Structure 1
Amino acid sequence: MTHTLTIKAISPDARNVFSYDLEKPDSFSFQPGQATEVSIDKDGWRDQKRPFTFTSLPGWDRLQFTIKSYHDHDGVTDQLSKLLVGDQLIIDDPWGAITYKGKGVFIAGGAGVTPFIAIFRQLHDEGNLAGHTLLFANKTERDIIHREEFEALPGLTVRHILSQEERSGLDHGHIDGDYLRDHVSDFDQHFYVCGPDQMVEEINATLSDLGAKPDSLVFEK
């Protein structure tokens, strides 16, 4: 079932990243971490569907998506950055395999962190965030999505890894086997992985080599 929804607010986040708050249909439900197909309610764009993750919680009175825009071509995310409050988006039913399974380590690359936003918010509201870790890889400091919120969440351990610059207090390099051995002491827990396809494939293979069980790896297949 599709829903045509009006944008109620647009908030800047990181570089080329915005959060879009939409009106919420009655009885619409989803699980934190799930996504849906989204298109723009304008001529020429209604059939251009792209998957985006809900960053709001199911109990909120609005739906929210946090989306990174890419301006290197005239695509959906570039068009989204040009929208205004009052414009409309079309969304489908929720779907997705990244849902909370238990305490563990969350590993994200860039906009791949978005499925984890609602999960962390839910765990925080429930008082169950302590003992979780976020390893968040980005190119530069300006690319870090929701940085202030993540770092302010009590009980969540956050490590930022930058590949293209060095900054005081942040790690430099990539999330590879050496990095995981240095910063993860227990591989007998859940690992949530989201980011570019190659990154997810490589990290899952590395985690398996380090002793993580296949059914403990949570990612979008």
Structure 2
Amino acid sequence: MGIEHSKILARQEVAQGTMAFHLAKPAGFEFRPGQAFEILLPGASSEASQEERGHAFSIVSAPHENELMFATRMRDSVYKRALGALPVGAELDIDGPFGSLTLHKNTARAGVLIAGGIGITPFMSMLRNAATQRSPQDLLLLYSNRRPEDAAFISELQALAKVHPKFRLKATMTDMAHSSESWSGDAQKIDSAWVQQAIDGLAHPIFYVAGPPAMVAAMQQILVAAGIDEDDVRSEEFYGY
């Protein structure tokens, strides 16, 4: 669609060190759940690198929502420091949407979404959209974090699993020894046996993996070990988070 003008409407911490930004939605801005856009900062120096002026983020909001949202780990980089310093009301530019990590159209086949940390963002749009549309497609989210404090949108996901009967959440926390919160769910790293047990009974699922490059590579190996056909696995690596 090209570059659109927007502004920050609000911000909120959605996990420890992770901030969500709510943006004004430009008129006519359309996207598919799972797609991304680039956020271009205002007033960037002409000498700044592309990485300092813009960054790609998955769109967290669903297409029917009246605003746009993205979320990111607030790392100590030039871009993240500048983004974090922007006040509510600050103007910025949006370039997009783009990306092909979108759900398959055959709703008779289940979708298994596998997220590590901030990799949850494209799946939030998919799940919000599926719940609103009352999609008949079976969706399973396998969501791994170190601690509940690190798990962005975990409360919303738990609520979605209660209201949308075709969505099931299976979350695991791998470092509860360093958590100050309670957790009654799984506390192991994802392995092939855990995946096989989780997907039991799903109809011909297609798998979607999103997260840091090392996590995506490890998950691809785990899925192969679980007997998943590589043609049924789609992935997106998140750099710079």
| Identity fraction in percent | 27
Q: Note the C-alpha offset of 1:134.
A: 1.1
> In the aligned structure 1, how far is the partner of 2:77 from the partner of 2:219?
31
Unaligned runs of 5+ in 2: none
Q: Normalized against structure 2, the TM-score is what?
A: 0.82
Residue number in structure 2 paired with 1:137: 144
Match of 1:178 in 2: 193
Counterpart position of 1:158: 169
What is the aligned partner in structure 2 of residue 210 from structure 1? 226
Structure 1 residue aligned with 2:32: 31
Tell me how far 1:17 sits from its aligned partner.
1.8
Tell me how far apart the structure 2 counterparts of residues 216 and 194 of structure 1 sit (CA, whole Å).
14
Displacement of 1:50 in angstroms is: 1.2
Q: Secondary structure at the match of 1:170?
A: coil
Q: How many angstroms does 1:81 deviate by?
A: 2.6
CA contact (8 A) 2:40 2:95 kept: no
State the shift of 1:115 in Å.
Answer: 0.3
Please state whether the residue corresponding to 2:15 is helix, strand or coil.
coil
Deviations 1:160-193 (A, max 9, x none): 2112215531222211223223323258311111
1:96-135: CA deviation from partner (whole Å, max 9, x where unpaired): 1210114221110000000000100110011126732111
- Runs of 4+ in structure 1 deviating by more than 4 angstroms, as ranges, are none
SS at match of 1:52: strand
Q: Which moved more, 1:92-101 or 1:126-135?
A: 126-135
TM-score between both structures, scaled by the size of structure 1 = 0.89
User: The residue matched to 1:108 in structure 2 has which SS?
Assistant: strand
In structure 1, what is the Cα distance between the partners aligned to 2:136 and 2:190? 23
The match for 2:56 is 51
Look up the equivalent residue of 2:118 and give its one-letter code. Answer: A
- Summarize the Cα distance change of 1:168–1:12 in structure 2 as closer, same or farther, 3 Å threshold: closer
Structure-2 separation of matches of 1:211 and 1:148: 32
Aligned residues: 219
Q: Secondary structure of 2:96's partner?
A: coil
Correspondence for 1:195 among 207, 211, 221: 211
Q: What is the Cα-based RMSD across aligned positions, in Å?
A: 2.1
Cα separation, partners in 2 of 1:41 and 1:164, compared to 1, 3 Å: same
145 and 158 in structure 1: CA distance in 2 versus 1, 3 angstrom threshold: same
